[in-house]
Structure 1
Amino acid sequence: MKPKAINHIVCSALAVVTLGLAAGQYADACTRILWNDNKLAVVVSRTMDWPESTEPVLTVFPRGIKRNGGHFGPVEVVKDNPLTWKSQYGSLVTTIYGVGTADGFNERGLAAHMLFFNAADFGSRDSGKPGLNGGLWAQYLLDQAATVNEALALLDKVQIVMTEARGTKTTVHLAIEDASGDSAIIEYIDGKQVVHHGREFKIMTNDPSYDEQLALLKQLDFSKPSSDTPLPGNVRPTDRFQRASYFSAMLPEPKTEREAVAGVLAIARNVSVPFGAPYKGFGIYNTEYRTVIDLTNKRYFFELTTSPNVIWAELTNFKLTAGAPVMVLSPDNIKLSGEVSGKFRKLAKAPF
């Protein structure tokens, strides 16, 4: 499915309804793999697993963009004390349905990845804190924070608000990391923030909670890895978590950036979901795309599963000063390959 006309990404409430329905009807998608202990570069990969096109658009945001965290596309979802801000840092991201950011990084080397999380519960609205709709959670941190520590400090001052359309809710958790290799997984369970902060938190999928994922991982014996080591091979989040943990622990030291990128991308492909794979009662889903971010060299790699080519862009190739244009590129173009910074085009207005 090709993205909507990019000049009119946020043109109606339909995108909001689509994202809300997707979260309510579908479940369990995506994997994140961080490689922060090699000597060459901090690289991170993620898969986007979804039963339909999320209409991804690669988007470069300059500094100085004014945002309203109370708006979810064209709809006002936080009426009491919405969070407003002006972006301090430029970023290169992948948007979802034109109403939010699913994945990306900023010019200071902070990256964020939004993954589905069935157990997400942001709690009752506390109007004493500025409210931020979940669709802009990742973008807010990329706009305002340079490090994981700064991002976590910002979250203490705001409240993430669940968005809803036609009775269905968007439920997500967030993985962040920075150019130093620091990492954090942020979940909201029973209305309380749960943070796993440290370089050791490299793998993330979906349900169950991160505590439970780690407990399940400890039950496996990966002390003597070999080709005979039994690994879970289905598409469940627990299976993907364990498989990604096993293979990421054995990545060989890269000699070049190319090898570092290839290392995490190989694992992302290993844990990707084939077309037609079944899951529980909702039918089928598959991996729509994969990304790799090189936080050391500020490069963003993108691989659409229906395209034969990997493409990439360098954030340093774009003007990020306040007043510079928003730049966009639809990756749904089979002719795209290699470095594509020059293929981006100006957008008249930021989509959100």
Structure 2
Amino acid sequence: MVVSVSMVRKLADERSFERGERYLAAGQVRRVTVDGSTVTATVDGTRTYRVRLDVTPKGLCGRCSCPYGADGVSCKHCVATSLAWLEQGGEMGEPRAEPLSDKRLRLFLSGCDQEWLIEQLMTAAKSDRVLRARLAAAAGQKNAFDDRDIRDRLERAIDIPDFVDYGGAYGYFLHVGEALGEVERLIGAGFADAAIILAEYALELLESSAERVDDSDGGLSEAIARVEEIHLAACEAGSPDPVELAERLVARAVSTDYELFLDVLPAYEEVLGSAGLARYRELVEQGWRTLPPKKPDDYSARRFVITHLMENLAESSGGRWADRGAGTGRDELLRRAPHR
């Protein structure tokens, strides 16, 4: 596939192409790097944006961290990067080698010298704290994982001092997603309990920063939904105390303005078990009893949340475990819920 200026012009609208030309002329395209058939660069605009171009048999594909960067090569930053690359000669690197299959890699490693393998692992562990923690845990070290680095990573990605406008929101939530990926990785690495706590910390940070980010495209809701998915997966893989978990789920649900943990049932039922579910029900019903009598036009957030939790109790678990002595059943809960 031969890429040319005329091809880039056809892929972008006239305005984006002209702006891309101006960005290139102003020297705003930096660090153009070619890796096989992929070109990456950073472009200075309202903020610094990351651009990736892929040359495929079907044509030129582009992605950018700006709000319009998911539309192929149509944004001005992709245009500027394309032109900068073409200005440098438009050369592509060596084709990337096909990845070695797990079977072949395992066969190779089984024949390697033990000392060489140890050196490779030690070298990798120096730059990968999760790997080092896994090795330390396997060696018998208690509390091998230290979550401070990932806490710092979450803070740097989420806890922002200044307002992020619409133009910067895409890049902001991209960084947030990368940090959440590090938390999610802990589940498969054997540190699910640490992932539970870090997921809850990430939710705290997202709540505290929510008013400082333009959320017109729903990035905040997507980030919160992902953290809740990570939290559930970590709870399923880990061994949280069921009663303490129930207390945290209810406390967060009734204290947040962002509808966190509103629909934990039935997903968390197995994790909570009978003890956790009983505590969860106890706290929700306690909150229900303390609500003042409903007045006309009373639409308080607390009333909405507690009513929603009561209805979820009725629909999700009332009919299945109330018969085992865990409290009032479905019909009774549904009868009581609308009256407060």
Specify the TM-score bucket, using the shorter chain as the normaliser: under 0.3
Name the TM-score, length of structure 1 as normaliser: 0.22
Name the TM-score, length of structure 2 as normaliser: 0.22
Higher helix share: 2
Higher strand share: 1
Q: Which has the higher contact order (CA 8 A, sep 6+)?
A: 1
